[in-house]
Structure 1
Amino acid sequence: MKGKGSRCSIRNVVTFAGAFIAWIIGSGFATGQEILQFFTSYGYYSYGVVLLNLLGFLFLGQVLLTTGYAHREEVNFNHFTFFCGKNVGRFYSWLIPVTLLMIMAVLISGAGATISEYYGINRYLGSMIMAVMVLCAYLTGFEKMVRIVSTIGPVIIAFTLMVGLATVIRGAANLSHIRQYETGLGASRSAPNWLISSVLYISLNFLSGSTYFTALGMTARSRKEAKWGAVWGALTMILAIAIMNTAILLHSKDAASLAVPTLYLARHISNVLGAVFSVVLVLGMFSSCSTMMWTVCSRFSFSAPGRNRMAAAAVTVFAFLLGMLPFSRLINVFYPFVGYMGLIYIGCVACKGLRPLKTYKKGNGDGKISET
């Protein structure tokens, strides 16, 4: 008879892959600013960034989700101390809420920028609408929130791939002209060179998402579901990044100066597609911001539900006020900062995950990792 940890439902794998994508997709990816600053701005070297991120996403995604599954019965499990030890782990435990508050502000600002750029509505009003939506999603509870964002993730990826592929097919002849635009692209760079940018992007996503990814793994029915959810989520995400990176490269002369490059690409194909894609972008920001909201508020858990709701409202207001700063500037400052702060943590996760022989508890089919 197969052990409990060997069960694997395709439907559940797709759900976990969608939830994995939902965290990363955010406003930075969905609008194209993240891709522009961490990938496209390095010209042809951006494909080196894509390759290194493929390896990083596949490896770290599996480690975090399967670790969460292995420790699913431990109510007070702290993945930071598990990977980094007591002192460093405690530092990261308190750093994460601060960094996620900053990233939430970026997401909320991105929603305002998208709505303003396409519909001409005041961007502060757009940001306020997003903030209210995120608060409402948090109040529904974690499992309901996962169901919501896991359905949004695949929709966003599908639209992103459609816009990216259409742009690449229509503009493939312009690939030879990319070098002409590299001077303009350089102003958008998040790091001194493409190699550092690769590491920072991996660190950004897996430091900020570590609490969410381990919690996601804890909800899996088997280790295989957690593992393959991470694998397919990572593969799909990197494929979307590669295609959208190429699409922005083909239009880098115009897109590099815009707050929402992907919206420009969609409108370049069709006004109707641009209108639909603007809605998809907002949903992408909503999906990531909702998951971050849960992670931040989980650090301030109170026994009284009313106090939890008040804390969530306070977090929302703070993120909205910080998000009033310009969107592209927020990404350029906050995202590399988070990436640098996460380097030690990512190194610790990699060291623990790369141990050639992991010790499993005898007689336990779920593949629980021993801390020895």
Structure 2
Amino acid sequence: MNKKLFQILSICGACISFYIGAGFATMQEVLQYEASYGSRFFWVILVVAGIYIYTNLSFATNGSRLKIARGGDIFGIYCGVFGKKFGKIAAVFFDYFSAFFCYMSFVVMCGGANATCTQQWGLPSGVGAIVLTALVVGTVILGLEGIVKTLGKVGPIIIAMILIVSIYTAITGIPNYSSNVQAVDAGVYSSVMAQVGNGNPLLSGASYGGFVILWFAAFLAEIGSKNNLKNVNLGMLLSVLFIFGAASVCCVALIGHINVTAAADIPALVLAGQISPILAQIFAIIICAGIYTSAVPLLWTGVRKVSNEGTKKYRIITIAGGVIGCIVACFIPYKGLINVLYGMNGYLGFVLIFFMLVYDAKTKMSRKVKC
């Protein structure tokens, strides 16, 4: 495999890994944001995909064009479009909030791993969080290049397993799909199935898209700065096919078996269990892998805000941040953190998009994108 193709596939895998966290791997996000809209789920996916493509092209392109030294510097670029004084204040806010949010999201991932291991395998509380923390800290210490290489290999495995389960169960659910779609559209399962967007698929897509913006901002901006821009953008665009293609198949599978997935905490395990109890156990491991692949860049983003890679300070803060996050996750329920932090992030994500649109229009980013 030549170097160019390897880099494209590695970046594609890293984007997939970052995007597919616990929520996607369990299919709970897919159920709430997309499948809950029945025949209109494709509108949600189109909106999310559009936001994902535009924002990530912008992050990578501007990061490359301006050769930013640290991913978080991208906020100063966008916010500066409204004047030096306002831009500086807004940039500092976004930079610190993004780093804080990503770190707290890492804590949430530790809580998710802890809960999954306790509920699925009956392990003592704390074991899941400790194992995840050890793996994440060890990977983050490798730095951005090591992270991309590691996630680039794990991401495709996760998406492949999700596709295997969702394609099989989508096929077995086809006989009931039409009647189930009608039932979902009629609100038959609304009492047991949570739905984002208050019945509006466009709002649901906007909320979902806005949620991941601050996750990817610093990550892709720095990747764009340190790698060939064309390869970065091609890798990111390739990830779109896998991520949203998988989401579409998952929706069909979930709706095809909506009688058992609507009220499930982990719909993916319900679907996997219909194929084989052994596969359900394997898929539980895949869910943990999904948590790991999101937790790594989240911790990296928080640590990178206060230290430079390769330094003693970077290693100490990475270890300390991992340990503190693990302890917090073991003693504080993570569901509350999800509701507050993720909701706030979605709103602020759209404020950032406004800055991005104005900046990119003024600098004519479309002429600089390389694909």
TM range (shorter): 0.7 to 0.9
Q: Does 1:184 align with 2:189?
A: yes
Tell me the distance in 2 between the aligned counterparts of 1:10 and 1:230: 13
Amino acid at match of 2:189: G
Tell me the distance in 2 between the aligned counterparts of 1:288 and 1:8: 25
Cα contact 1:65–1:230 (8 A) shared by 2: no
Tell me the distance in 1 between the aligned counterparts of 2:262 and 2:118: 18
Aligned ranges 1:309-348 → 2 under 5 Å: 309-324=315-330, 325-326=332-333, 330-348=337-355
Aligned partner (choices 198, 201, 206) of residue 194 of structure 1? 201
- Pairs aligned (count): 356
Cα contact 1:61–1:234 (8 A) shared by 2: no
Which piece of structure 1 moves more, 244-253 or 67-76? 67-76
Aligned ranges 1:1-372 → 2 under 5 Å: 9-72=4-67, 74=69, 78-85=73-80, 86=87, 87-175=89-177, 176-181=179-184, 182-185=187-190, 187-192=193-198, 193-221=200-228, 223-301=229-307, 305-324=311-330, 325-326=332-333, 330-354=337-361, 357-358=364-365, 367=368
Tell me the distance in 2 between the aligned counterparts of 1:33 and 1:25: 12
Which piece of structure 1 moves more, 53-62 or 208-217? 53-62
- In the TM superposition, what whole-angstrom CA distance separates every residue of 1:327-347 from its partner, at most 9, and x where no partner exists? 555444432221112111022
Query: Normalising to structure 2: TM-score of the pair?
Result: 0.86
- In the TM superposition, what whole-angstrom CA distance separates every residue of 1:32-54 from its partner, at most 9, and x where no partner exists? 12222222233333221011112
Tell me the distance in 1 between the aligned counterparts of 2:256 and 2:362: 42
Deviation at 1:285, TM superposition (A): 1.1
Aligned to 1:209, what secondary structure does the other structure show? helix
Change (3 A) 1:8 1:132: closer
Tell me the distance in 2 between the aligned counterparts of 1:179 and 1:66: 43
Change (3 A) 1:33 1:265: same
Amino acid at match of 1:295: T
Cα contact 1:81–1:89 (8 A) shared by 2: yes
Amino acid at match of 1:36: L
Residue in structure 2 matched with residue 364 of structure 1 by the alignment: none
Change (3 A) 1:321 1:190: farther
- In the TM superposition, what whole-angstrom CA distance separates every residue of 1:181-214 from its partner, at most 9, and x where no partner exists? 5443465223323222211111111122210111
Runs of 4+ with >6 A deviation: none
Amino acid at match of 2:129: S
Change (3 A) 1:345 1:243: same
Change (3 A) 1:314 1:336: same
Change (3 A) 1:212 1:261: same
Query: Normalising to structure 1: TM-score of the pair?
Result: 0.86
Cα contact 1:113–1:327 (8 A) shared by 2: no
User: Structure 1 unaligned runs (5+)?
Assistant: 1-6, 361-366
Cα contact 2:140–2:147 (8 A) shared by 1: yes
Tell me the distance in 2 between the aligned counterparts of 1:341 and 1:89: 12
Tell me the distance in 1 between the aligned counterparts of 2:361 and 2:27: 32
User: Structure 2 unaligned runs (5+)?
Assistant: 81-86
Change (3 A) 1:174 1:141: same
Amino acid at match of 1:28: G
Tell me the distance in 2 between the aligned counterparts of 1:131 and 1:249: 35
Deviation at 1:28, TM superposition (A): 1.4
Amino acid at match of 1:70: R
Tell me the distance in 1 between the aligned counterparts of 2:23 and 2:71: 32
Residue in structure 1 matched with residue 83 of structure 2 by the alignment: none
Tell me the distance in 2 between the aligned counterparts of 1:57 and 1:368: 15
Change (3 A) 1:246 1:316: same
Cα contact 2:69–2:222 (8 A) shared by 1: no
Change (3 A) 1:213 1:75: closer
- In the TM superposition, what whole-angstrom CA distance separates every residue of 1:284-322 from its partner, at most 9, and x where no partner exists? 211110011110001111699443333223322333244
Tell me the distance in 1 between the aligned counterparts of 2:310 and 2:157: 36
Residue in structure 1 matched with residue 84 of structure 2 by the alignment: none
Change (3 A) 1:219 1:211: same
Task: Give me the CA root mean square deviation.
Answer: 2.7
Tell me the distance in 2 between the aligned counterparts of 1:199 and 1:75: 28
Which piece of structure 1 moves more, 132-141 or 109-118? 109-118
Change (3 A) 1:214 1:136: same
Tell me the distance in 2 between the aligned counterparts of 1:76 and 1:284: 23
